[in-house]
């Protein structure tokens, strides 16, 4: 069991949503937490609200910009001398759903910039220093079952980005072991019910230079309210997940040394078996929507 008391943890996208739940859980464990987020006012408020619970600081960071992530790493190593836990959690949807062929180059640039390059930038800026410190450490990727396990076809860009970072994290974990480092890597799949977070309004952080050239309204069913209503109409559970509890669940998984952290992994496994069976026959594998029935 990994001991987090006094350890240094960096959480990207930790100012709100799932990341904030992770930060809260890490503070409960006694970790020293650096929250890195692009949304400065929310970051400032979150750090203020949490500072009575432990050692927490904020660094405004755009994970899609390598220079910004390198500056974050400089700050962390200057102030704390080490980093034991890097949690690449920041993520966005390019939003609106729709057909893959309607997604614009800027949808790809923004979504991959944050989700894929953001994860890579964290690894490039932090891991060499984590390795040379000789301290034990963990790199966690917040991925998504959408892409990490099977795609939601109308969220094709987001799903592709999450498939990429799940694959990257596997490679990372293998190489950490092969190179006999003191580091581990793992993947967190947020799960356990409806996740009512700012992801549904991720466009708030979209840089103007990566705006769509042809603005289009969200496709039907892609707002949180519509998604919830569709689940209710299908007789499916619509309970929202408590994000602090989700953070505790994820941190517990890290402490236990799991490679995959998520709820209902048995049903993910059944879907992956069905996908493998289809692939072995040269057929189109079932999507995440097929699995819902």
Ligand X SMILES: NC(=O)c1ccc[n+]([C@@H]2O[C@H](COP(=O)([O-])OP(=O)(O)OC[C@H]3O[C@@H](n4cnc5c(N)ncnc54)[C@H](O)[C@@H]3O)[C@@H](O)[C@H]2O)c1
Residue positions annotated with a catalytic role: 158
CA 162 to CA 147: how far, in whole Å? 5
- Least distance to ligand X, CB of residue 281, Å: 30
- Phi, psi dihedrals of residue 123, rounded to the nearest 5°: -65, -45
Q: Which helix (H) or strand (E) covers residue 176, if one does?
A: helix 156-178
Query: Cα 35 from chain centroid?
Result: 14
Binding footprint of ligand X on the chain (CB under 6 A): 12-13, 15-19, 37-39, 61-64, 89-92, 114, 142, 144, 190, 195, 197-199, 202, 205
First to last CA, the chain: 38
Residue 45 or 129 with smaller CB distance to ligand X:
45
Residue 3 or 51 with smaller CB distance to ligand X:
51
- Per the structure block, which two tokens stand in for 261? 């952290």
- Least distance to ligand X, CB of residue 159, Å: 11
- Least distance to ligand X, CB of residue 114, Å: 4
- Per the structure block, which two tokens stand in for 263? 């709820």
CA 188 to CA 88: how far, in whole Å? 10
Residue 24 or 62 with smaller CB distance to ligand X:
62
Q: Are the beta carbons of 60 and 205 closer than 8 angstroms?
A: no
- Least distance to ligand X, CB of residue 249, Å: 13
Residue 15 or 76 with smaller CB distance to ligand X:
15
The strand pair at 8-12 and 32-37 is best described as parallel
- Least distance to ligand X, CB of residue 225, Å: 14
Dmax of the chain from CA atoms?
Answer: 57
CA 141 to CA 12: how far, in whole Å? 10
Query: Would you state the torsion angle of the CA atoms of residues 123, 127, 128, 133, taken in this order, to the nearest 10 degrees?
Result: 160
Residue 21 or 137 with smaller CB distance to ligand X:
21
Cβ atoms within 10 Å, residue 3: 12
């Amino acid at each position: 069991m990994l001991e987090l008391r006094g350890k240094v943890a960096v959480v990207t996208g930790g100012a709100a949503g799932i990341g904030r739940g992770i930060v809260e859980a890490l503070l409960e464990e006694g970790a020293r937490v650096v929250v890195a987020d692009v949304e400065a006012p929310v970051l400032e408020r979150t750090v203020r609200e949490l500072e009575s619970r432990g050692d927490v600081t904020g660094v405004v960071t755009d994970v899609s910009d390598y220079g910004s992530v390198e500056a974050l790493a400089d700050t962390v190593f200057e102030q704390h001398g080490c980093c034991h836990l890097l949690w690449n959690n920041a993520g966005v949807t390019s939003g609106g759903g729709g057909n893959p062929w309607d997604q614009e180059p800027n949808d790809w640039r923004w979504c991959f910039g944050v989700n894929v390059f953001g994860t890579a930038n964290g690894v490039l800026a932090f891991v060499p220093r984590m390795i040379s410190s000789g301290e034990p450490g963990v790199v966690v990727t917040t991925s998504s079952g959408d892409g990490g396990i099977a795609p939601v076809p109308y969220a094709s860009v987001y799903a592709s980005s999450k498939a990429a970072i799940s694959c990257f994290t596997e490679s990372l974990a293998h190489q950490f072991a092969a190179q006999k480092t003191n580091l581990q890597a793992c993947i967190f799949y947020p799960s356990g019910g409806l996740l009512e977070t700012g992801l549904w309004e991720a466009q708030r952080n979209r840089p103007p230079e990566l705006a769509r050239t042809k603005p289009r309204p969200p496709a039907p069913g892609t707002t949180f309210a519509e998604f919830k209503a569709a689940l209710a109409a299908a007789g499916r559970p619509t309970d929202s997940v408590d994000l602090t509890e989700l953070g505790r669940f994820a941190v517990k998984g890290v402490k236990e040394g799991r490679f995959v952290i998520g709820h209902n992994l048995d049903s993910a496994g059944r879907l992956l078996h069905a996908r493998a069976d289809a692939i072995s026959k040269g057929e189109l594998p079932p999507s995440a929507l097929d699995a819902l029935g």
